[in-house]
């Protein structure tokens, strides 16, 4: 009889130990399941969002005017138009067309009838040039305002029409651009146009300096 009581006690103790071991595992499983359950289910409809299109401002068009110094014939007013395309922030290409009137008044004081058939002759040119923005910076106006600016080098080829002669022309120089807004800028350019002429009886290469000021619109 004592043996049976001892066996029963051992059996009850084993069952209690097993129940104690199972209880923490069940509690842990319940806690894990509760954590994995999503508390809030979103009910927001998916909508398509269109990205805004910002202007690139890669193209520019502008007018310019200034002085054109024709070798042997003095300086005269010049005016023209420019169209540019900005490939990157550093490099751009530009096409230009301009006209001026050249006078042989100085020669008429020495030679009867002068050099030209008329006292003034039209000179026009067009060219295609490449530019490099070498020094971006800022121009400060007062204490609280600054405008973006660019110093650039430019060179290209084209043609000059003068006294019924069309001559291949090389131009090079530099310019300075100040942005008034994202779309508008003021430009100052200095160029040297090199081409050959034989108006005075001998073909020679001429250096023709040009200084212009203009306005450009970017779009």
pLDDT tens-digit series, residues 114-138: 888 888 999 999 999 999 999 999 9
For 70, the domain range is 59-218
On the question of pLDDT at 161 being above 50, the answer is: yes
Structure tokens at 52: 């805004």
Residue 121 placed within a domain: yes
Contact 139, 108 (CB under 8 A): no
Residue 47 placed within a domain: no
What is the Cα–Cα distance from 43 to 152, expressed in whole angstroms?
57
**Amino acid 109: pLDDT:** 83
Residue 70 placed within a domain: yes
Residue 104 placed within a domain: yes
Which is more confidently placed, 117 or 39?
117
Give how many domains the chain has, as a whole number.
1
CA distances from 45 to 41, 72, 148 (A): 12, 78, 44
Give the end-to-end CA distance of the chain in Å, rounded to a whole number. 108
On the question of pLDDT at 174 being above 60, the answer is: yes
> Per-residue pLDDT tens for 48-95?
766 655 557 899 999 999 999 999 999 999 999 999 999 999 999 999
Residue 160 placed within a domain: yes
What mean pLDDT, rounded, does the chain reach?
Answer: 85
Structure tokens at 74: 């003095």
CATH number at residue 208: 2.40.160.20
Residue 163 placed within a domain: yes
**Amino acid 144: pLDDT:** 84
Residue 96 placed within a domain: yes
Query: 138 Cβ partners below 8 Å, 6+ apart?
Result: 146, 147, 148, 149
């Amino acid at each position: 009889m004592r043996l049976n009581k001892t066996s029963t006690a051992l059996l009850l103790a084993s069952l209690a130990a097993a129940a104690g071991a199972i209880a923490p595992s069940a509690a842990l499983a319940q806690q894990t399941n509760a954590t994995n359950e999503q508390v809030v289910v979103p009910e927001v409809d998916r909508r398509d969002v269109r990205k805004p299109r910002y202007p690139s401002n890669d193209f520019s068009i502008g007018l310019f005017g200034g002085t054109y110094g024709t070798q042997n014939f003095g300086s005269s007013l010049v005016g023209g138009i420019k169209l540019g395309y900005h490939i990157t922030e550093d490099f751009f290409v530009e096409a230009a067309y301009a006209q001026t009137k050249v006078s042989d008044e100085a020669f008429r004081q020495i030679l009867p009838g002068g050099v030209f058939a008329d006292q003034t002759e039209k000179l026009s040119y067009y060219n295609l040039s490449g530019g490099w923005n070498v020094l971006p910076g800022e121009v400060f106006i007062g204490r609280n305002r600054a405008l973006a600016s660019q110093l650039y080098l430019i060179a290209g080829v084209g043609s000059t029409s003068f006294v019924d002669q069309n001559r291949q022309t090389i131009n090079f120089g530099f310019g300075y651009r100040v942005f008034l807004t994202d779309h508008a800028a003021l430009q100052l350019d200095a160029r040297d146009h090199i081409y050959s002429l034989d108006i005075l009886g001998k073909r020679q290469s001429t250096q023709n300096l040009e200084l212009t000021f203009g306005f450009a619109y970017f779009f």
